[in-house]
Amino acid sequence: MAMTRQGTDAARALRALEDSRSSVRLQAALAVGTAPDPSFVGKLVERCAVEPEFFVRDMLTWALTRHPVSLTLPELLREVRSERAQARSQALHTLSKIGDRQAWPAITRALLSDTDPEVARSAWRAATVLVPEGEEPQLAAVLATQLGRGDQETQLSLSQALAALGELITPTLRVATTSPDPHVRTHALATQRLLRDPDTGFESAIEEAKRVVAVTGAPQGG
């Protein structure tokens, strides 16, 4: 009888994940994470790909972290190859929260340079969490190819990812400050500032970098 009631509760929670009210979906995700069950994993991953509300998606991710990695990892690794941008982004976000380095090979150069900014940002965060010891310089080099990209929010995400790798990014940033592209130079200089002083606001770091680039002009070829 208890098993039947448990099964009924589980079925009700899974149905509630598709309710039109975000508050109901949020409570359902909380319930599923509070009482993990292997049968939930597929539905949670599926819902991550289409859930419109940020707070519900975050709860879905939390619920997935409550399940065994042996069950969640294969599902999430499939999702990072999805054609749906939100599926890729949320799967990468969840992998960064799980933190299992078995997922590292899935963080491809294509994901790190994904045309969708949310996917790219999630990939940058996941990469800094999952990168194996010794492979940080190669990761820094790939991340540096994205300098100057996107709006200020996107640039902040990349700077934070680079700064998370620590002092080893210094040579990479130094090269980027000589780029012929002023956007790349500006972003590299702002990231250098953040690395030196983590408490610096990114907006002020960017403004200072813009002034430096304006004064120094284009780098001279030699």
Q: Are residues 118 and 150 in contact, defined by beta-carbon separation less than 8 angstroms?
A: no
- Residue 3 reports pLDDT greater than 50: no
pLDDT band at 2 (very low <50, low <70, confident <90, very high): very low
- Residue 55 reports pLDDT greater than 80: yes
97: Cα separation from own chain's centroid: 9
Q: What is the pTM of this model?
A: 0.89
Residue that is written with structure tokens 């194996």 in the block? 132
Query: What's residue 21's pLDDT?
Result: 96
- Residue 200 reports pLDDT greater than 90: no
Closest among 61, 50, 62 to 18, alpha carbons compared: 50
* The CATH fold of domain 13-130: Leucine-rich Repeat Variant (1.25.10)
C-alpha span between 15 and 40 (Å, rounded): 11
Query: What's residue 5's pLDDT?
Result: 54
Residues 4-52: tens digit of each pLDDT: 455 666 778 888 999 999 999 999 999 999 999 998 999 999 999 999 9
Closest among 32, 95, 19, 20 to 59, alpha carbons compared: 32
Residues 82-121: tens digit of each pLDDT: 999 999 999 999 999 999 999 999 999 999 999 999 999 9
Q: Residue ranges of the domains in the chain?
A: 13-130, 133-217
C-alpha span between 212 and 181 (Å, rounded): 14
Query: What's residue 14's pLDDT?
Result: 84
Tokens of 150: 């996107």
Task: Indicate the angle between helix axes 152-164 and 136-144, nearest 10 degrees.
Answer: 160
